[in-house]
């Protein structure tokens, strides 16, 4: 694409640089799924990996060659030729050509420290390696994006030589010169100064920031302000060490704050969904505090904030959250005022008639949070509580008794067995089940007892279970808070509930039963109460 003043070329390296992050492992199938989602979002260049380094990346390029792409060019990554090789005989360059991509990304050395100590070649030979590699690839009809590795460190150490490496790449036909902050140690003011100086000699500049100083996004924006029109990054900033520049925040800032065109406004509304999708495929927990796309990015807790936002969102929001596909959230806690509760009740479709009901809800929430409950991460329990206060709730079952037994069998294998007796629809149901641990066994027994009356509960699973000790100075007599995430198999529905007690099984029971009540509320024509109100 042509890099003009109003257009930014987005280069995503999630599949290559991002996959180098600790705890991130992507299969070929994972990489293809992410690549198609990036393509649908409007990313211009997707760096798929290093075909000369491992069979998995080679297989990815084989599959990518057979796939169709709407917006993106698939790009293969590699290094300049090795010392002593001709470009035509270099295995790495052969693999790049064999990948079949029309775009290749080549990195070369800009810092004399790396030239002389890491590569062990002369400065002149390094320049020749850069030039001959790029010339060979352009002669083969490839668009070459040149990554000037460690450019900012190299420029600060020896600016004249760093510029000579760029000249070698540009003279050989490189389409874009990407200035890389490979160690992530450069500050935005330095990036702006250096990019501005380089732009006086070269056109079509790019930026590849790392986040080791927490400046990855800021450095990308500073580079664009100074003249760069090609930006590299990863979704959610995953990558080597502490990560790369977060492409989600970079795109949102460039398009909503700086007036540059990156993707269509319609595509930008899918930014939060893209972020969550990549986290899901990479098996990473989403960062709630992530700018623009995190669950907390537009969350409001203080009563004064909520009151103002209800009147004028701009009072405490820098951006309409729907622009990036996010949504406003109001948190309810012991810091909440009536504005928080009214907003939340309206959001949940609950009408708290009159100020008395609202005050009652606020007071009840404050009392429960004083006991250790927390509703910011358990909105399903909050909804049930508000419906109970509304005065038209009932429970779908009541507890008769439960018992949990844990024992150790042969070879140290532990097992748990739970017995649950409940009254449901006028009948006493008794069920026994085993599980991996006492809470899993309790959940399985409860589901077994209820599934006879509510078959759809068979699809509900425990997705996550967290325990927090409150007042640890009380040791084994301390109160515990249990948060449970529930999931409906085969669907996207997830909900969270809370329980608090000095007995961990009692706290777990509260959260388990709230989770079931919430599910039945939304799948059966009954009005249900929270375990917090009927216990």
pLDDT in tens, 106-123: 999 999 999 999 899 999
pLDDT in tens, 342-358: 777 777 777 776 678 78
pLDDT of residue 493: 82
Confidence category of residue 534, pLDDT binned at 50, 70, 90: very low
Phi, psi of 311 (to 5 degrees): -90, -40
- E strand or H helix that includes residue 167: helix 159-171
Residue 45 has pLDDT above 70, yes or no: yes
For the entire predicted model, the pTM comes to 0.74
Residue 527 has pLDDT above 70, yes or no: no
19/70 Cα distance (integer angstroms): 24
Residue 475 has pLDDT above 80, yes or no: no
Residue 335 has pLDDT above 80, yes or no: no
**CA Rg value for the chain:** 29
31/27 Cα distance (integer angstroms): 6
Structure tokens given for 82: 């090795």
Structure tokens given for 241: 């060490």
Specify the 3-state DSSP secondary structure of 340.
helix
pLDDT of residue 242: 96
Residue 216 has pLDDT above 80, yes or no: yes
359/371 Cα distance (integer angstroms): 19
Confidence category of residue 535, pLDDT binned at 50, 70, 90: very low
Task: Give the pLDDT mean for 488-512.
Answer: 89
pLDDT of residue 53: 80
Confidence category of residue 526, pLDDT binned at 50, 70, 90: low
Residue 364 has pLDDT above 70, yes or no: yes
Handedness of CA 468, 288, 21, 166 (dihedral sign): negative
Task: Give the pLDDT mean for 32-56.
Answer: 94
Domains of the chain: 9-263 (3.20.20.70), 299-390 (no CATH), 400-534 (3.30.160.270)
pLDDT of residue 256: 97
pLDDT of residue 523: 84
Burial environment of residue 314 by CB neighbours within 10 A (0 to 12, 13 to 18, 19 or more): exposed
pLDDT in tens, 71-93: 999 999 999 999 999 999 999 99
pLDDT of residue 530: 53
Place of tokens 């109003």: 6
């Amino acid at each position: 694409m042509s890099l003009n003043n109003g257009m930014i070329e987005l280069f995503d390296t999630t599949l290559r640089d991002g996959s180098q992050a600790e705890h991130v492992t992507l299969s070929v199938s994972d990489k293809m799924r992410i690549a198609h989602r990036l393509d649908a979002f409007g990313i211009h260049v997707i760096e798929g990996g290093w075909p000369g380094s491992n069979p998995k990346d080679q297989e990815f390029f084989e599959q990518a060659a057979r796939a169709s792409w709407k917006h993106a060019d698939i790009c293969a990554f590699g290094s300049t030729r090795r010392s002593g090789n001709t470009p035509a005989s270099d295995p790495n360059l052969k693999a790049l050509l064999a990948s079949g991509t029309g775009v290749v990304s080549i990195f070369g050395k800009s810092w004399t420290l790396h030239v002389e100590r890491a590569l062990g070649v002369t400065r002149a030979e390094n320049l020749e390696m850069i030039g001959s590699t790029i010339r060979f690839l352009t002669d083969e009809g490839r668009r070459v994006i040149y990554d000037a590795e460690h450019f900012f460190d190299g420029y600060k150490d020896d600016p004249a030589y760093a510029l000579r490496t760029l000249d070698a790449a540009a003279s050989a036909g490189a389409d874009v010169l990407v200035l890389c902050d490979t160690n992530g140690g450069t500050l935005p003011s330095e990036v702006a100064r250096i990019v501005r100086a380089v732009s006086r000699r070269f056109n079509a500049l790019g930026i590849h920031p790392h986040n080791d100083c927490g400046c990855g996004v800021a450095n990308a924006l500073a580079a664009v302000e100074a003249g760069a029109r090609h930006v590299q990054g990863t979704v959610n900033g995953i990558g080597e060490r502490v990560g790369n520049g977060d492409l989600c925040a970079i795109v949102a800032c460039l398009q909503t704050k700086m007036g540059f065109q990156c993707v269509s406004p319609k595509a930008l509304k899918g930014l939060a969904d893209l972020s969550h999708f990549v986290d899901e495929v990479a098996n990473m927990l989403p960062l709630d505090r992530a700018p623009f796309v995190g669950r907390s990015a537009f969350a409001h807790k203080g009563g004064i904030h909520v009151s103002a936002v209800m009147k004028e969102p701009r009072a405490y929001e820098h951006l309409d959250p729907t622009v990036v596909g996010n949504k406003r959230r109001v948190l309810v806690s012991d810091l909440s005022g009536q504005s928080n509760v009214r907003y939340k009740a309206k959001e949940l479709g609950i009408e708290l008639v009159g100020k008395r009901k609202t005050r009652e809800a606020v007071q009840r929430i404050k009392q429960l949070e004083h006991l250790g409950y927390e509703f910011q991460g358990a909105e399903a329990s909050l909804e049930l509580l508000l419906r109970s206060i509304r005065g038209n709730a009932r429970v779908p079952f009541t507890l008769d008794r439960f018992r949990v037994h844990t024992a150790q069998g042969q070879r140290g294998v532990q097992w748990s067995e739970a017995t649950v007796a409940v009254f449901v629809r006028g009948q006493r149901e008794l069920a026994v089940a085993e599980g991996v641990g006492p809470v899993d066994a309790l959940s399985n027994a409860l589901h077994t007892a209820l599934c006879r009356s509510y078959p759809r509960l068979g699809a509900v699973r425990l997705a996550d279970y967290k325990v927090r000790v409150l007042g640890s100075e009380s040791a084994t007599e301390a109160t515990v808070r249990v948060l449970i995430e529930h999931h409906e198999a085969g669907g996207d529905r997830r909900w969270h509930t809370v329980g608090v007690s000095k007995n961990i099984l009692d706290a777990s029971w509260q959260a388990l039963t709230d989770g079931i009540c919430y599910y039945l509320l939304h799948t059966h024509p009954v009005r249900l109460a929270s375990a917090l109100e009927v216990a």
